[in-house]
Amino acid sequence: MRRSHFRRTLAAVTLAATALTLAGCSGDDEEPTADSSPQAVAGGSTLDSTWPLTGLEVTGDESAAQDHPVIVTKIDNTSSSAPQVGLGSADMVVEELVEGGLTRLAVFFYSDLPDEVGPVRSMRASDIGIVSSTDATVVTSGAAPRTIKRISGAGIDFVAEGAAGITRATDRSAPYNVMADLTTIADKIDQQDEVRPDDYLPWGDESDFPQGQKATAITASFGGHTTEWKYQGGSYQNTNGYAGQGDEFSADNVLVLRVKVGDAGYLDPAGNPVPETEFEGKGEAMLFHGGQLVRGTWQKDGLDGTITLSTKAGKLTVPAGHTWIELVPQDNGSVQFN
């Protein structure tokens, strides 16, 4: 797998800046080659003509092999983050548990890089399982020292405060004022070749989606935070989110994966244990699309493995489109719908 070299070439400024910002963190199938035949996917499209994070067809003269890697930005998901910036440009979002039963967003950008996203917050060890399969670069405000050690040990590149493209907004309060220009960050990433990342999810066509049960309202609870969705106008809208008006993430799919949660082994500055989502193995899956729910199971072999979905009838694919993934704890979380 390819690796960007931004962290290594700017190690001094990035790691030094990370050290300064730690106190502000809250606890803190094979890739096709040039001479190989494109791999076919559902609907007759090929990997080189679809976007890896949405499964949607690439239009015009564009290519799904970009001159930058997938860029995942860690964005705050509390009322203090309002208004969140950049969600409307994202390909995909993963919501993960953090300390206190709250959540944080891992926002995936690839087909479109906005010049402002945020507020940017710190990484967690949970991010290893979330970003590894795409060989992504993570944009973060920093992280706890043991988290940095584990993220680096997993071979994940990250860009922290102090690097070009990450600034502090003067109209927001710290630590909710770190913003990122992904165009500037992408320009600084030394990517040797344009390589299309692997598909994040098993994409399929609308016609592949099986008949499910009606479900137009969803509530995903993480303990201290719930995320609510309403199916309207052909997509799912987050009715209690913090995105700026006109900058909301409109989801074609909401994919709920019930996950095990362990202990990261340290406390945040407020004394709360920091949880760690164990995003590998298997568990219950709930795929919401078109106002319907299909139940199944998910499987992921290793933290860097890709996600597969299945029902009792066999393989389950996700209709191509923008997807919000809820990593809901299987023990202390819950999912309701009507």
One digit per residue, the tens of pLDDT, for the chain of length 338 reads: 434 433 333 333 343 344 334 334 444 433 333 333 344 444 445 556 899 999 999 988 778 999 999 999 999 999 999 999 999 999 999 999 999 999 999 999 999 999 999 999 999 999 999 999 999 999 999 999 999 999 999 999 999 999 999 999 999 999 999 999 999 999 999 887 888 999 999 999 999 999 999 999 999 999 999 999 999 999 999 999 999 999 999 999 999 999 999 999 998 888 889 999 999 999 999 999 999 999 999 999 999 999 999 999 999 999 999 999 999 999 999 999 99
Instruction: Report how far residue 314's alpha carbon sits from residue 311's, in angstroms, rounded to the nearest whole number.
Output: 5
Using an 8 Å Cβ cutoff, are 48 and 35 in contact? Answer: no
Strands 217-221 and 226-232: antiparallel
Q: Enter the pTM of the model.
A: 0.87
Residue 26: Cβ within 10 Å count: 22
Instruction: Report how far residue 256's alpha carbon sits from residue 95's, in angstroms, rounded to the nearest whole number.
Output: 10
Return the DSSP state at 91.
Answer: S
Instruction: Report how far residue 303's alpha carbon sits from residue 306's, in angstroms, rounded to the nearest whole number.
Output: 9
Name the region of 290 (left: φ>0; alpha: ψ -120 to 50; beta: rest): left
- Joined together, the tokens standing for residue 326 give 């809820």
Instruction: Report how far residue 12's alpha carbon sits from residue 10's, in angstroms, rounded to the nearest whole number.
Output: 6
Nearest alpha carbon to residue 13 among 152, 165, 127, 129: 165
Q: What are the residue ranges spanned by the domains of the chain?
A: 6-27+47-188, 203-337
Give the pLDDT score at 62: 79
- Joined together, the tokens standing for residue 307 give 């996600």
Nearest alpha carbon to residue 323 among 60, 56, 123: 56
Our measurement of the distance from residue 42's CA atom to the centroid of its chain's CA atoms, rounded to an integer in Å, reads 23
- CATH 3.40.50.1970 assigned to domain 203-337? The reply is no
Any idea which fold 6-27+47-188 has?
YerB-like fold (3.50.90)
Cis omega (within 30 of 0) for bond into 32: no
Our measurement of the distance from residue 132's CA atom to the centroid of its chain's CA atoms, rounded to an integer in Å, reads 11
Give the pLDDT score at 26: 40
DSSP letters for 230-262: EEETTEEEETT--BPTT----BSEEEEEEEEEE
User: Which residues are CB-neighbours of 20 under 8 A, at least 6 positions away?
Assistant: 161, 162
Instruction: Report how far residue 318's alpha carbon sits from residue 91's, in angstroms, rounded to the nearest whole number.
Output: 14
Instruction: Report how far residue 302's alpha carbon sits from residue 279's, in angstroms, rounded to the nearest whole number.
Output: 8
Give the pLDDT score at 47: 57
Instruction: Report how far residue 229's alpha carbon sits from residue 211's, in angstroms, rounded to the nearest whole number.
Output: 20
